Structure 1
């Protein structure tokens, strides 16, 4: 049976459905017909809903229902499915979950995303009691989440726009290892870790990439290392997966002067077989733990009189040496496996000794002309 036609009214319309219930609707100021969110058991109930809507329209207090629904979406309502649908590495997912739990949800969780204003963001950022890296990460995550909300037209503009807030300020000034200092560390560290230090430094590799390296990834004949996977450790569990980003999958040329050491290492310390690990544990039965390498590295760095240097600083060494060697910004970005040029630019801009070297080289050209 067809639904009965609605009775003509001064505002809106009511029609009786085949179920016997009543549906109310009206044409709003936006010229769109809006239906009541529910049907009603009696005509009087439907008329009551229309009466309220008419009051909002005539009182200039009317908001389109779609906008009302968007206004009701809280930060938690939005970010929970957002996180579930993102294609993230296990480490990044763990980081985002921690940042949300610790820094974002306590402040914004119950807020409607339409109520998150630039002022609210500034107050939150000013009150963050954490280190510079965590602060920048939390800010960057909030900006990304609400940036997607803009794309989905839930909000008109991203309220997360504090100038310079997303940059990670160094808590210390990095003094890059010299080649002599690196050689001292290599000499002092146990033999099975020498090439891990050499590859980490001269090929600017991350520890997770080094620990996941297999025989099939190392092509010493052509002098290249193929970085295809990396390990991460989350809550004591070792996970093997893709490198940090898609740009992390790369092929890096190996400086020829370390190839003889790598060849010797493959004979004496690497696991057997094409899939054998280049840097296995001492027992040869699994992936190296970062704690093990940090322990031996921390002892070796004292020999070089560089107690301040960290294992990850080997990567900085490799980046800056490549820049000094003449690598362009694009070449540096590819060698490091960075997704954006901005990260690689950090190393080009931090070659503090390079201007002096260039100036001396210019003077040498002039002095060479002297009789």
Structure 2
């Protein structure tokens, strides 16, 4: 129909009809966003005087709160997954790194002495571009995150056993030795969460878990945004957090939670 003939009541009926027909709320919200954008352009071009898309909240889809795992559940999942991915589960849960960031890690990104991981690249896969390895989307995504001391021994063992050789060798590889991709990891993931009895858990929920653990340790909003690589964090604040030691304090709190589940680390000098 002509753009000038579209009215606000018609837009409301159209949206309500879609929802009544069982179309998903997220799909309806996206369709409404597109229509609103079309009509905004029509207003800018002088084709219509007023945008008829005026439904408050129409472009926002309600999203269910995603679960986060307890430390005990994280280790149950890590025990259920093949050994070469155990440390990947632990890092995702306790440092809040994304799947693509973990897949893009190289040996030189891991500093066992300082207990830090530097995120410099990420693996992404789209229909148009295929598999790509590139820098994080924002400057804040390039960051250095401290990991709990309890993971040091396991991470060192993983590097010796499963990581590719050389300074730029990948820390995590796919089931057949190639690049770790979501589609070749999905079957492994589903088997593991089934064996661990965790139900509907997504890999991204491990990131939510890491953020929640850090928050319970008293991390400020800005510190949380640094660990998660959010683009609104200013570079000066990122460096300040790393220098003043708060990032390691956050990792230390997560470490305390791990020790409550695992007990003392026999490999540490003090046995604690």
Name the TM-score, length of structure 2 as normaliser.
0.69
Aligned to 2:97: 205
Q: Which runs of 5+ in 1 are unaligned?
A: 1-109, 342-371
Q: Pick the aligned partner of 1:241 from 123, 127, 134.
A: 134
Q: How many Å separate the matches in 2 of 1:142 and 1:244?
A: 27
On the 8 A contact 2:94/2:147 being kept in 1, the answer is: yes
Q: 1:222 aligns with which of 111, 114, 136?
A: 114
Q: Secondary structure at the match of 1:169?
A: coil
Give the counterpart of 2:206 among 299, 303, 314.
314
Aligned residues: 229
CA distance in 1, matches of 2:220, 2:72: 25
Q: Counterpart in 2 of 1:122?
A: 12
1:131 is displaced (CA, Å) by 2.5
**1:189 paired to 2:104:** no
Taking structure 1 as reference, are residues 260 and 239 closer, same or farther at Cα in structure 2, changes over 3 Å only?
A: same
Instruction: Give ranges in structure 2 of 5+ residues lacking alignment.
Output: 234-272
Separation of aligned partners in 2, 1:256 and 1:336: 19
8 Å contact kept, 1:182–1:304: no
Give, in whole Å, the separation in 1 of the partners of 2:227 and 2:92. Answer: 12
Distance 2:46 2:149 in 1: 54
Q: Which position in structure 2 is the counterpart of 1:3?
A: none
Tell me: CA distance 1:158–1:205, structure 2 relative to 1, closer, same or farther (3 Å).
Answer: farther
> Does the aligned pair in 2 maintain the 1:298–1:307 contact within 8 Å?
no
Between the aligned partners of 2:74 and 2:209, the Cα distance in structure 1 is: 9
Aligned-pair CA distance for 1:315: 1.3
Whether 1:134 aligns to 2:27 is yes
Contact 1:150 1:156 in 2 (8 A): yes
Alpha-carbon contact 2:29-2:59 (below 8 Å) kept: yes
- Other structure's SS at 1:197 match: helix
Q: Is the 8 A contact 2:175 2:184 kept in 1?
A: no
**For residues 176-235 of structure 1, what are the alpha-carbon distances to aligned partners after superposition, in whole Å with 9 as ceiling and x for unaligned?**
211111111111211100111111111112212211222233233322222232222223
Q: Calculate the TM-score normalised by the size of structure 1.
A: 0.53
How far off its partner does 1:327 sit? 1.6
Task: Determine helix, strand or coil for the equivalent of 1:238.
Answer: strand
Q: How many Å separate the matches in 1 of 2:85 and 2:31? A: 35
Equivalents in 2 of 1:174, 1:132: separation in Å? 17
2: CA distance between counterparts of 1:306 and 1:327? 27
1:292 aligns with 2:188: no
Distance 2:13 2:231 in 1: 31
Q: For the residues of structure 2 that align with 1:246 and 1:144, how far apart are their CA atoms? A: 29
Q: Is the 8 A contact 2:108 2:168 kept in 1?
A: yes
Residues 169 and 233 of structure 1, relative CA distance in 2, 3 Å threshold = same
- Going from structure 1 to structure 2, the CA distance change for 1:175 and 1:276 (only over 3 Å counts) comes to same
Q: Distance in 1 between matches of 2:221 and 2:46?
A: 36
2:217 to 317, 325, 342: 325
| 1:254 counterpart residue number | 147
1:252 aligns to what SS in structure 2? strand
